[in-house]
Amino acid sequence: MIDTQLSLLGKSNKILSNEMSLSRLDNKLGGFTMNFEGVKYFTHSAGNEGFRCNYIGSFENGNGIVIMANDGSGRIIEDITRSIASMNNWKNFPFELRKESISLAIRKESLKDIKQGIEYYKKLKKNNYNEYNFSDESELNSLGHDFLGNDKIESAFEIFNLNVNEFPNSGNVYDSRGESYFYKKDYLLSKKDYLKALELDPTNQNAKEMLLKIEKLM
């Protein structure tokens, strides 16, 4: 994290150049960018049943935190982050309590049966909308990539497909579903999703590279 911050400021290239660090965050390769009224932070989270971890670092001013906790809800991580950000005056960082993670809420059911997991998602959205974070596309995206990384390709596809339906104007969700189609060897639909991802976000370098790869395979 520290070297990423130095790289973003052009003060280090030990691991990644300034250009590569910017490209990595712009294309969501191992990190996501949050923009709070012009002040940028980069972050990534992960978790299993009963465990949760997260890191957040600022593009400038050297602020950052890494938290790992045996708390499946992620609430303690939110409390610690808000407390430290507040005490250290992180610029424009939102200090209000965030909602529960919807991806963690449906993870257990989704591991048992992906269809049941999605139905549980819809039930929580209908009956408990104000309690869970339904507004952040990275919630479902992270869960889908967890499945993909564990060779649960069909489960990953179902989650990415749900995310496309939830955020149809996001290029990133089409990029992720395109990846699951690619793993399923459905190259035509994969190509269609990557083209849509590029239409919505012309700077998506990963989509450009995947389209070239698909053309060779077809």
Please give the Cα distance from 89 to 66 (Å, whole number).
17
Q: Which amino acid, one-letter code, is at 216?
A: K
Distance of alpha carbon 201 from alpha carbon 193, whole angstroms: 12
Asked whether residue 196 carries a pLDDT value surpassing 70, the answer given is yes
Averaged confidence pLDDT in the chain: 91
**pTM for this one?**
0.63
pLDDT at 57 over 90: yes
Element of type H or E holding 1:
none
Residue 121 tokens, joined: 């998602």
Question: Has residue 72 got a pLDDT over 70?
Answer: no
In the DSSP assignment, the letter for residue 131 is G
In the chain the domains, ranked by start, together with CATH numbers, are: 1-98 (no CATH), 101-218 (1.25.40.10)
The pLDDT tens digits of the residues spanning 92-138 come to 988 766 678 899 899 999 999 999 999 999 999 999 998 898 998 98
pLDDT bucket at 88, cuts 50 / 70 / 90: very high
Question: What phi and psi values does residue 95 have, to the nearest 5 degrees?
Answer: -95, -5
Residue-level pLDDT at 66: 96
DSSP-assigned states of every residue in 42-70:
EEEEEEETTEEEEEEEESSTT-EEEEEES
**What average pLDDT does range 170-185 have in this prediction?**
96
pLDDT at 12: 85
Average pLDDT over residues 53-81: 87
